[in-house]
Amino acid sequence: MERVYFDNAATTSLDPAVLDAMMPYLTEKFGNPSSIYSYGRESRLGIENARKLVAKTLNAHPGEIFFTSGGTESSNTAINAAITDLGCKHIISSPIEHHATLHTVEHLHCSQGVGLSYVRILPDGHIDMEHLRELLANAGEKCLVTLMHANNEIGNLLDIFAVGNLCKEFDAIFHSDTVQTVGHYPFDLRNTPVHFITGAGHKFHGPKGVGILYINENVKIKPFIQGGSQERNMRAGTENLYGIVGFAKALELATTHHEAHSKHINEVRMYMAERLEKEIPGVTFNGDLHGRSLYTVLNVSFPKSEKTEMILFNMDINGVCASGGSACTSGADAGSHVIRAINSNPNQIAVRFSFCKNNTKAEVDTVIAKLKELM
């Protein structure tokens, strides 16, 4: 059976050019980057060249880029550092963050008594900026604001500049989970008012198990993982050498081809939205589809019925890969906390379709035909 993969917000396929860049470090350039002899120096050079490439692509300083195991570690590091090293006593987040953020702030609130507030979510899925201002004004202590740049389930985009400038006004630390946008949008970090951002290679056709944490050069924190002097004493453990090289190559390719790829992907997404509206009665969309929205994500609500309750399972056995929300909870019965926050209608079933540069309108036609058979 030919499969259609529409779950690229969960992970993407590895670009062949990225694999080519990684191969020397999977074979003959295998040295430990901490070793002083030639094998180690080759590996160290690969990592530092990758760091320079990532920094150049994001318009950051190489000293602000730290390689990690992915977005979850990066967010945990930033959030914990804001509390333990930067004097934050209160956290402001939102109820629709990724669990890498939600579970971390809840843990700090419960285990250390850190204050915790959630900004209101508007009906279209965006955060209420006036409420954020109120929370900052009334906190009475130094705050960490942690809000994601693009929601991984509904695709809504945060105005990162507006939030960052608001945080500056109240002397708050600002961390943004940018896992869904690094590799999908150009970044100019020298001119973006943010203290921490995150990235994960597998979201833009790079390898799994590697990510970045950007730490603004004016921020000084201690290591989250102890045990070695790697990453300039900031992240202990032998570096994921070939992953780091692959991350940098994938980011370079994604940024170089951003204009063409984003246009193509958005055309596929909007074509699917149009076909669904036309051919599946009762379909609605979650989030701000026609406004500030991530061009890779389409979150669809189908009318609840005996057939649609099994829609993900039935799509799977018909060769269609999609998600019921975040892939991190797609096997859980609890459903999506994001959808619950913006759409409490019990008579709808939400499905996330997410797209990449390799998807086509012909694949959309195939999926629509399958859906019509399953409804």
For 115, the 3-state DSSP assignment is: strand
In whole numbers, what is the pLDDT of the chain averaged over residues? Answer: 95
| Token pair in block for residue 179 | 């896992």
Q: How far apart are the first and last CA of the chain?
A: 21
What's the Cα-to-Cα distance from 88 to each of 98, 117, 120, 209, rounded to whole Å? 21, 13, 21, 29
Measured distance CA(144)–CA(251) in Å, rounded:
28
Q: Write out the residue limits of the CATH 3.40.640.10 domain(s) in the chain.
A: 16-256
Measured distance CA(91)–CA(114) in Å, rounded:
7
CB crowding 131-159: b at 16 or more within 10 Å, else e: bbeebbeebeebbbbbbbbbbbbbbbbbe
Mean pLDDT of 115-125: 96
Measured distance CA(184)–CA(203) in Å, rounded:
9
User: What pLDDT, on a 0 to 100 scale, did the predictor assign at position 11?
Assistant: 98
User: What pLDDT, on a 0 to 100 scale, did the predictor assign at position 253?
Assistant: 98
Q: Are 184 and 263 in contact (CB under 8 A)?
A: no
pLDDT digit string, tens, across residues 31-60: 999 999 999 999 999 999 999 999 999 999
User: What pLDDT, on a 0 to 100 scale, did the predictor assign at position 327?
Assistant: 52
Q: Which residue has the higher pLDDT, 306 or 248?
A: 248
**Residues with active-site annotation:** 328
Mean pLDDT of 223-243: 95
Q: What is the DSSP letter of 7?
A: B
User: What pLDDT, on a 0 to 100 scale, did the predictor assign at position 332?
Assistant: 43
Mean pLDDT of 152-167: 97
User: What pLDDT, on a 0 to 100 scale, did the predictor assign at position 325?
Assistant: 59
Pick one of 3.90.550.10, 3.90.1150.10, 3.50.50.60, 3.40.1160.10 as the CATH number of 4-12+258-374. 3.90.1150.10
According to CATH, the topology of domain 16-256 is: Aspartate Aminotransferase; domain 2 (3.40.640)
Measured distance CA(35)–CA(108) in Å, rounded:
37
pTM score above 0.75: yes
Q: Write out the residue limits of the CATH 3.90.1150.10 domain(s) in the chain.
A: 4-12+258-374
Amino acid at residue number 2: E
